[in-house]
Structure 1
Amino acid sequence: MNIFVSNLGYSFSTEDLTELFAAYGSVDSARVITDKFTKQSRGFGFVEMPDEAAAIKAIKDLNGTMQEGRPIKVMEARPKEEKSSYSSRW
């Protein structure tokens, strides 16, 4: 299951994200999204967990918890919506 995590502190690392979710089960991947120019965290990330039951428990338990002084938001990731091109609007 793919999980979206937001409101992360800017010093929160991919390793921190992996460690946070590893307490609930196996983590296939975790990534804090960074700005491509400054390399600073953009305050959100994604976690992929193979066990759906463990992922649901992690979402339920971690949503709203304080991490680095901020209440994080944890939810199942939704597929990115396609952006319409300029030409398709006319």
Structure 2
Amino acid sequence: MSDAPAAPVTENGVPPVAQEKVEEAPGFKVFAGNLAYTTTDEGLKAFFAPVASDILSAQVILRGTRSAGYGFVALATAEAAQKAVDTLNKTELDGRPVIIEIAKPSEQKDKEKKEKKAKRKPGRRGSKAVPGEVSEAEANGEASKTDGAAVPESDEAAKPKKKKKKSAVSRAF
């Protein structure tokens, strides 16, 4: 047996594919979105010709072997990054209008995701929780259980309601 750590394996025995892992390149990053699936790293770098002297790296993000439709270009200066946004945003690359923006730091992006998730209503897609069931937010101590949906303490709430039977007269027609 070797002391080397085992490679992570998914349920079906296949190693997981590295998805959306972007190495933090030095410099100022610019996001390039709505890329054609045929766009390559070299094509993205050539597209940034107006700031070619300031390019540190250009990378199209892949999911497996296929393009994810976006990429990042690292530039040496903030001025070059802003110039790239100003001159290249909404211009066409490989037949598609490309979105060029200053990239957000991953810490800021993670923080925004957490804030967005915290604003979501707990429960089943907006419906109220089943009486006696604890929502995820309540379990984490983030929401109070008294939100207007008080659980009656009598046994009547636990009994299902009976449906009214239709009379023979109404079935005859």
TM-score interval for Structure 1 and Structure 2 normalised by the shorter chain:
0.7 to 0.9
- Say whether 1:28 aligns with 2:70: no
Partner Cα distance (2:98, 2:35) in 1: 6
- Which contiguous aligned blocks of 4+ residues in structure 1 show a shift greater than 4 angstroms? none
Give deviations 1:22-61, integer Å, cap 9, x for gaps.
431321111000112xx11010000000122122111111
Higher strand share: 1
Aligned to 1:66: 92
Unmatched 5+ stretches in structure 2: 1-27, 115-136, 141-173
Query: Post-superposition shift, 1:11?
Result: 0.3
Aligned to 1:41: 67
Aligned to 2:42: 15
Instruction: Please give the secondary structure, in 2, of the residue aligned with 1:64.
Output: coil
Higher CA-based Rg: 2
Unmatched 5+ stretches in structure 1: none
Percent identity over the alignment?
Answer: 36
Instruction: Please give the secondary structure, in 1, of the residue aligned with 2:42.
Output: helix
TM-score (norm 1): 0.83
Partner Cα distance (1:54, 1:22) in 2: 11
- The higher-RCO structure (CA 8 Å, 6+ apart) is 1
Query: How many residues were matched structurally?
Result: 85
